[in-house]
Amino acid sequence: MQELVSPINLFEYEQLAKSHLSQMAFDYYSSGAWDEITLKDNRAAFTRIKLRPKMLVDVSEINLTTKVLGEPLQLPLLIAPMAFQCLAHPDGEIATASAAVSAGVGMVLSTLSTKSLEEVATVDNGLQWFQLYIHKDRGLTRALVERAYTAGYKAICLTVDAPVLGKRERDQRNEFTLPPGLHPANLTKISGLDIPHEKGESGLLTYFAQQINPALTWKDLEWLQSLSPLPLVLKGILRGDDAVRAVEYGAQGIVVSNHGGRQLDGAIASIDALPEIIAAVDGRAEVLLDGGIRRGIDILKALAIGAKAVLIGRPVLWGLAVSGQAGVSHLISLLKDELTTAMALSGCANLQDIDSTLVIHN
């Protein structure tokens, strides 16, 4: 097949990225848990939502700027936390953060980044949040939060949908581990923790089983909040009652997410979970969404249902694999263009004009 020289949409980036990645890396990035039902449904659910555009509106100027937890963004977009970005490109999370800062979008850095949180913070403080995995070792967890605060991260984004790692069978088959020279940089230096090579199993799954605290409950949020003054965002909420509890426990943000279909297969598509959560939260926290965002119209639909902004995951890894920072920048500009066009065609000049009357489920 002829190589796509310059991808014109996010799907073409994925196609092109395949040839830049090892099978182990591509499988780790792309896969979902078990039968990948939720992974596919995250996309399919968007196609079930139809738009009801408004006509004869002046859309000569489209304004995409917004604020998330008080920080300005050039468009309602953040880059989702994703582990091990140096598998895609030697610059890894530094390239991603640089692209995010220059486009004026947010970025959430994974606990399991392959560049340290301090290095990534030097790229400067756009809207950078630190994604936390609470380890069994409380001292280690405390140190991570304190380091994130000292380095200037603006929020702690606690992932709550991974008490154990979901079963990604391609990773099991590949005996996923990191190649020589790559490490979870935030952990290796201070505690020597690394991703093992495990016969017949994903090394990441083993890492989770050994290191991540599966006994975490709502009560632990008080302890977490005592570690720093940073606002708390909970990532991985899929029910209205959990969203209400998140607010009661002081979360300022909620990311409606099923971890890109990588945790509980069969879980509801994130966009299908959004209406219940928007109703339950009732404006008391900012609600974001990730999972299956690939087009500007997907962002439009999420905003119409009530999300403040969305996060994109895998496409960023495809951009990184194809051409590092430039690839991520280009990919963000494609989405921005698509959102601009989608808003113009829907009769929305500002994000505030995007309301629930714009969508219908069928």
- Residues within the interface to ligand FNR (CB under 6 A): 28-29, 42, 80-83, 110, 112, 131, 159, 235, 257, 259-260, 262, 290-293, 312-314
How far from the centroid of its chain's Cα atoms is residue 299's Cα?
A: 14
Nearer to ligand LAC among residue 37 and residue 345 (C-beta): 37
219 is in an annotated binding site: no
Q: Which one-letter amino acid corresponds to residue 352?
A: Q
Answer with the entry of ligand FNR, ligand LAC, none that 33 interacts with (C-beta below 5 to 8 A by kind).
Answer: none
CA dihedral (315, 321, 322, 327) positive or negative:
positive
147 binds ligand LAC (CB under 6 A): no
The item of ligand FNR, ligand LAC, none sharing an interface with residue 235, based on CB under 5 to 8 Å by kind, is ligand FNR
Question: DSSP string of 298-327?
Answer: HHHHHHHHT-SEEEE-HHHHHHHHHHHHHH
Selected from 24, 68, 83, 121, the binder of ligand LAC by CB under 6 A is 83
Start-to-end Cα distance in the chain: 37
Measured N-to-C along each axis, helices 296-305 and 37-47 cross at an angle, to the nearest 10 degrees, of 80
* Identified catalytic residue from 20, 135, 259, 330: 259
Q: Toward ligand LAC, which CB reaches closer, 167 or 245? A: 167
What residues between 259 and 288 interact with ligand LAC by CB under 6 A?
A: 259, 262
Check if 183 is active-site: no
Least Cβ distance, residue 195 to ligand LAC (angstroms): 10
- Whole-number Å distance between alpha carbons of 211 and 295: 36
- Which residue from 66, 61, 91, 94 is spatially nearest to 78, judged by alpha carbons? 66
Q: What φ, ψ does residue 106 adopt, rounded to 5°?
A: -85, 165
Closer residue to ligand FNR (CB): 267 or 348:
267
What is the per-residue DSSP string for 154-223?
S-EEEE-S-SS----HHHHHHT--PPTT---HHHHHHH---PPP-TTS-HHHHHHHHHB-TT--TTHHHH
Nearer to ligand LAC, 162 or 305 (CB): 162
Does residue 82 have a known ligand-binding role? yes
Cα distance between residue 355 and residue 348, in whole Å: 9
Instruction: Pick one of ligand FNR, ligand LAC, none as the site partner of residue 153 (Cβ within 5 to 8 A by kind).
Output: none
Question: If phi over 0 gives left and psi between -120 and 50 gives alpha, with beta otherwise, what is residue 286?
Answer: beta
Distances (CA, A) of 28 to 91, 106, 181: 19, 24, 18
Q: Taking the complex as a whole, how short is the minimal distance between the CB of residue 160 and ligand FNR, in angstroms? A: 9
Residue 312 partner contact from ligand FNR, ligand LAC, none using kind-dependent CB cut-offs of 5 to 8 Å: ligand FNR
Instruction: Return d(Cα 290, Cα 258) in angstroms, integer.
Output: 8
Q: Tell which one of 112, 247, 310, 331 touches ligand LAC (CB under 6 A).
A: 112
Q: State the Cα–Cα distance between residues 190 and 42, nearest whole angstrom.
A: 37
Q: Which is nearer to ligand FNR, 87 or 304 (CB)?
A: 87
Nearest approach, Cβ of residue 315 and ligand FNR (Å): 7
* Residue closest to ligand FNR when measured from CB atoms: 313
Name the binding residues for FMN. 81-83, 110, 131, 159, 235, 257, 290-294, 313-314
Residues serving a catalytic function are 259
List residues near ligand LAC by CB under 6 A: 83, 112, 162, 259, 262
Name the binding residues. 28, 81-83, 110, 131, 133, 159, 168, 235, 257, 259, 262, 290-294, 313-314
Name the binding residues for glyoxylate. 28, 133, 168, 259, 262
